[in-house]
Structure 1
Amino acid sequence: MIRNEDIQGKVVVALVVDKMWEAKLRWFGHVKRSIDAPMRKCERLAMTGLRRGVIWTDVLLMDDVLPEAGLRDFTFEAAHDAIKQYVACTFSHLLLDISDALVKVHDNQKGVIEEDYPLQSALETSKKALVQGSMGALLDSRRLLDENLEVLSSLTNLIIELVQEGFQDFFRKLNDHFFMLSGKKYSANQDLTFGEGMQGDKVLPELVLLLAQLSVFIEQNAITRITEARSCLIGTSEISSFSGGGTRGYENSSAFIPAEICRIFRSAGEELLQHYISLKTQKILIVLKKRFTTPNWVKHKEPREVHMFVDLLLQELDTILNEVKQILPEGLQPKHRRTDSNGSTTSSRSNPLRDDRLVRSNTQKARSQLLESHLAKLFKQKMEIFTKVEHTQESVTTTIIKLFLKSLQEFVRLQTFNRSGFQQIQLDIHFLKTTLKDTAEDEAAVDFLLDEVIVAAAERCLDPIPLEPAILDRLTQAKLAKNSDQNSTS
């Protein structure tokens, strides 16, 4: 028979447990609110609550009194959710830090901020945010593993798996973010909140270049540093979980695989660099199209100076040089210059029209001689015009120069020139040859492409009589002197 005293005692215990449980629920609510709070506050408050050993002690006391309530299991579940949200919060914060650094490129373009080297500053800020944020995530996980609490020590494998999944997912989202900013593609899984002004804006080529170089840094530097730090901070006995498996099974976890991440960002770096070159080339093509579709080339007047479109081309190249010099390294290979056997590096000897002394005749025989000379030169040199683009200043600028010269040749082939129009093209190319010789890495190939433009103009000319070398040199020197005076006064 149950005594009244026993019933009263259990009622009292139940009431006490109920009050204690109400207090613990408020505490769990505090943990959740701290996780949902702004990130830096989340980092400070969320794990502070979990590390309070008195909470776990009280849970054990309540579980002894009333095991039917399942307080121990509920607490493990709450701790599990808190840690999971905390890790996710950490990597979301890291994504936002990097996004904030990239916003600076847009702000600088809009004049919101002014810096002498905005791309260099944004790149260094992004690198710092990436490395320091990754190290911070590893340090936090180490601190959790070092806690001498049963509720945390029993979740060791979970913590390791969440961190590894966090890194893998973070880098995949970062790759998606890069391509979204470049305007190339968008990931439906991308849930990152971007800074104001980042969405809907026109894609900036300089931002694409920055993303390409940041991808190179991730592949060649960041992943190695994170992998090494992971081994030191988490420990060799625990790091086996990072290769897959773990408590939840390989099929349910996403192991941090450095080789895969390196492959992703190696590919991203190459694709983004090509995209930068494409964007810059398209901008130059606008200048070329306007130049060749506006005048009537059959009624062109005698050339008196280098055309202003050459200035626009050189301005675009100056912009490109300024951008690549901020964040791309210099190339290690020397310039590929033309030897005497294949032609001189001087402009006066590299013109195929003067090489063949075609300065007096506009007959079919003269045209045949011109083409034969050009083909002979092509087979003699056996040069490779377009080579693989490297992440160097010289390689990028030279590739853009080659592309716009090839496009220039195609624009020329679509026109029909009188003698004066042909001579204008000859003069413009002569000036470009003088100014580009110190800019391009592969000078021989660029020189050859310049010659091809003149040959194409001769093929499309009704009367292909070129200017005399002395006239070319005089007009070129006059243009150089004019530009020098304008630069000194500006």
Structure 2
Amino acid sequence: MSSNNDEALDEKAKRMRDLLSSFYSPTRSSSTSPNSNPFSKHPSPDDINSSSFQPNHYINILAQKSNLEGLLQRHVEMVTEIKNLDTDLQTLVYENYNKFICATDSIKRMKSNILGMEASMEHLLEKIMSVQSRSDGVNTSLSENREHIEKLHLTCNLLRKIQFIYDLPDRLAKCIKVEAYANAVRFYTGAMPIFKAYGDSSFKDCKQASEEAIAIIVKNLQEKVFSDSESTQVRAEAAVLLKQLNFPVDNLKAKLRENLEHFLSDTQLIPEVEETVSPSSHEVAICEFVEAIRAFQVIFPDSEKQLVNLAQELITKRFLIIEEYVKTRICGEDLLGVLRVIWNDVLLMDEVLQEASLYNHSLEASKVAVKTYIGSVFSHLMQDISDTLLKVLKRDGAEEHSLEVVLDASIKAVLEGGRDFLLDVRRILDDNLEILNELRELIFDWVQEGFQDFFRQLEVQFLLFSGRKTSLATQNRELAEGVHGDKAFPSLVLVLARLSVIIEQTAIPKITKELAASFSGGNFQGYEYEPGFVPEEISQKFRSAGEKFLHMYINMKTQRISLLLKKRFTTPCWVKHKEPREVHMFVDLFLQELEVIGNEVKEILPQGIRKHHRVDSTGSNASSTRSNSFREEKLTRSNTLKGRSQQLLETHLAKLFKQKVEIFTKVEYTQESVIMTIVKLCLKSLQEFVRFQTFNRSGFQQIQLDIQFLRTPIKEIVEDEAAMDFLLDEVIVAATERCLDPISLEPPILERLIGAKLAKTKEQDTISS
């Protein structure tokens, strides 16, 4: 109900405004009527507020749209509106009448005020006319004196100028005395028009004296310009004064340019590079250079191109010094220091030489400097690793050059060197130096590419150290002739094998993880949208290299021992060999070589898990003795009862029915696997050397004694005892096949000779200890 009353009141107020508007502006009321169409040229005839309202038409429409009750209600509303309009109209008339009364009173007051103002204006006019007449009288009386005064004033000025001309030589002399050359030049240039007009007549002496003084001033100014002890500001002021005196400045321009070029030949512009120069002196030098450029611009406005070339040449020279500096061993803070200094210099010079585009010039030079720094870091890291590894070839038993120490130092160089480098790069980027912020993404790529190239070159360096860049035939010849120098070369190869495995399994994953942590948010994209660092590729390279080095170490050690065995079997005449009296010396040499190998692999390789349990040495010897005795008795009976061909046939049949033993297996990075592989290869070589000889009974018995003695110490250092028994038996079988009279030593004699050898060895160990 209340909402209906509010709507009725709003409509009433709206109609009231329209009626009042139509009362004061009939034209506007028709156009702003709520029922009128503003875009219509003809108002609607049923609009009760328009001038074209037609009552009959309105009544017809109202009768058609409303019922009797509606017509009655509309009648009551219209009667109420008419009364309200009458009341509002009456109120409006009263209000406007009050305003008319107030306006009438205001007009009366204005009329009375104007009447009094007219008399005041007439009095003021009389005063003005009186002042004007008196002023005309004063001007008339003073006109003659004023002309005279003006003439006297002109004469006084002329006399003052003449007096200045006569006093000019003394003034110039005083200026020379106190070195006030700027005042002297100002006085002389002010007198130049008079000298040009009257210098050859009235003021001839003054002109001559002034020119002599100016000559002295010019000379002194020239000395200041060309003096290296004067500051750039003083030299610039002197040059400006000379230019005001119309002195030729071609020589001056060349001299000032020479002074500017002096900065280019100064090698002590970077305080971080030259320790003898303090940062304050550097700031003074660059500020002086900037002031010199500013003075040059003032004196020679047409020299902009020359100054741009000079500034760019200076920045280029500075960056060339930085490129040489970053090739030395520096850290990230050192690089930041020199770049910060040169960037501050660029900002100072850019204020006076914006046309030089020093920012872009410095940005391009910074790319080269930063990239050179990254390459230099990896180069020094490569050198550190190489120097550490080469200590293996120089070791003389010193603890600091042991294989374990060298390996640990190499691992530390790879891991800590890469980590420290990433920390330095992180510090450089976190410094937010403006010139480096532009290179942030490029630095990400350069670091990744640097690690990729570093590990590729490191793998190549390992191959060069191992000699694998030469052909296989050349390597074998060098090994046989001892080209690589000493016994330490195989040790280096063993260290390379172990280091390659550690790089593959530890270093590459750690560096990959640290790269991801250090450069989170980087694009990790190399040029041409290829990844800069590919850990899978590097891991594969070092995995393959490690396997090559390990097999190379085994081959070198095997070939060294094979040369020893070959010399043993090719030197004597086995057909005429004497009865064996002791174990041959080659057995000691063979065991010494195995001991050296064992010591090396214990320093470098981890210990593996033994695949076979070792039995007691006594039981082993007894078992071997019983086995050999049984084989010897069998061979003796075969030699007595059968022919030679029948004996060999039975030997081969025994080998066919013997339990099969796996001889050659995959080499692992363990002490046991490497030693076992070397021993197997050496015993196979021993078997082959035996197969190429012909033995008498004594020669065969010597081989039997040597092999029997080898069984116990070899089983002490290997993990596969079954394979050792098989290979040692194969040597005996090969000697049996190549013997003319294969009669074995009696077991007591064999044991006595072995016991004598053991006692002698024990005695030698006691003496040496």
* TM-score interval (norm. to shorter): 0.7 to 0.9
Q: Is the 8 A contact 1:62 1:71 kept in 2?
A: no
Check if 1:306 corresponds to 2:579: no
- Which residue in the other structure is 1:384 paired with? 662
- Which residue in the other structure is 2:89 paired with? none
Check if 1:400 corresponds to 2:678: yes
How many residues align structurally?
453
Q: Which of 208, 211, 216 is 2:493 aligned to? A: 208
Question: Matched residues in 2 for 1:166 and 1:304: separation?
Answer: 66
Q: Is the 8 A contact 1:347 1:434 kept in 2?
A: no
SS of 1:249's equivalent in the other structure is helix
Question: Matched residues in 2 for 1:249 and 1:43: separation?
Answer: 28
- Which residue in the other structure is 1:35 paired with? 326
Q: Is the 8 A contact 1:95 1:170 kept in 2?
A: yes
Counterpart mapping for 1:82-161 below 5 A: 82-108=369-395, 111=396, 114-115=398-399, 118-161=402-445
Counterpart mapping for 1:78-477 below 5 A: 78-108=365-395, 111=396, 114-115=398-399, 118-185=402-469, 204-235=489-520, 237-238=521-522, 240-241=523-524, 245-246=525-526, 248-250=527-529, 255-335=532-612, 346-351=623-628, 354=631, 357-362=634-639, 363-364=643-644, 365-377=646-658, 381-477=659-755
Counterpart mapping for 1:53-92 below 5 A: 53-58=343-348, 60-61=350-351, 65-66=354-355, 69-92=356-379
Question: Matched residues in 1 for 2:762 and 2:332: separation?
Answer: 58
- Which residue in the other structure is 2:85 paired with? none
SS of 2:565's equivalent in the other structure is helix
Change (3 A) 1:295 1:22: closer
Q: Is the 8 A contact 1:337 1:345 kept in 2?
A: no
1:288-326 deviation per Cα after TM superposition (whole angstroms, max 9, x unaligned): 111111111111111111111111101110110111011
- Which residue in the other structure is 1:195 paired with? none
Change (3 A) 1:385 1:158: same
Check if 1:51 corresponds to 2:340: yes
**TM-score (structure 2 length as normaliser):** 0.55
Structure 1: unaligned runs, 5 residues or longer = 1-5, 188-198
Question: Matched residues in 1 for 2:389 and 2:347: separation?
Answer: 47
Q: Is the 8 A contact 1:409 1:452 kept in 2?
A: yes
Change (3 A) 1:177 1:102: same
Deviation at 1:432, TM superposition (A): 0.6
SS of 2:742's equivalent in the other structure is coil
Change (3 A) 1:447 1:123: same
1:364-422 deviation per Cα after TM superposition (whole angstroms, max 9, x unaligned): 34443333222211xxx222100000011110011000001001000001011111111
SS of 2:533's equivalent in the other structure is coil
Change (3 A) 1:359 1:388: same
Question: Matched residues in 2 for 1:383 and 1:345: separation?
Answer: 21
Q: Is the 8 A contact 2:621 2:712 kept in 1?
A: no
SS of 2:329's equivalent in the other structure is helix
Question: Matched residues in 1 for 2:632 and 2:485: separation?
Answer: 51
Q: Is the 8 A contact 1:413 1:460 kept in 2?
A: yes
Deviation at 1:105, TM superposition (A): 0.8
Change (3 A) 1:361 1:168: same
Deviation at 1:26, TM superposition (A): 4.3
Q: Which has the higher contact order (CA 8 A, sep 6+)?
A: 1
Amino acid aligned to 1:375: L
Deviation at 1:259, TM superposition (A): 1.1
Which structure: greater helix fraction?
2
Q: Is the 8 A contact 1:141 1:160 kept in 2?
A: no
1:179-219 deviation per Cα after TM superposition (whole angstroms, max 9, x unaligned): 111111169xxxxxxxxxxx975671011001100001101
SS of 1:334's equivalent in the other structure is coil
Worse-superposed segment, 8-17 or 290-299: 8-17
Question: Matched residues in 1 for 2:394 and 2:764: separation?
Answer: 30
Deviation at 1:438, TM superposition (A): 1.2
SS of 1:303's equivalent in the other structure is coil
Worse-superposed segment, 463-472 or 72-81: 463-472
Structure 2: unaligned runs, 5 residues or longer = 1-296, 472-482
Question: Matched residues in 2 for 1:335 and 1:367: separation?
Answer: 32
Q: Is the 8 A contact 2:697 2:742 kept in 1?
A: yes
- Which residue in the other structure is 2:70 paired with? none
Deviation at 1:32, TM superposition (A): 2.2
Deviation at 1:442, TM superposition (A): 1.2
SS of 1:229's equivalent in the other structure is helix
1:142-174 deviation per Cα after TM superposition (whole angstroms, max 9, x unaligned): 122223123211111110111111111111111
Q: Is the 8 A contact 2:632 2:743 kept in 1?
A: no
**TM-score (structure 1 length as normaliser):** 0.85
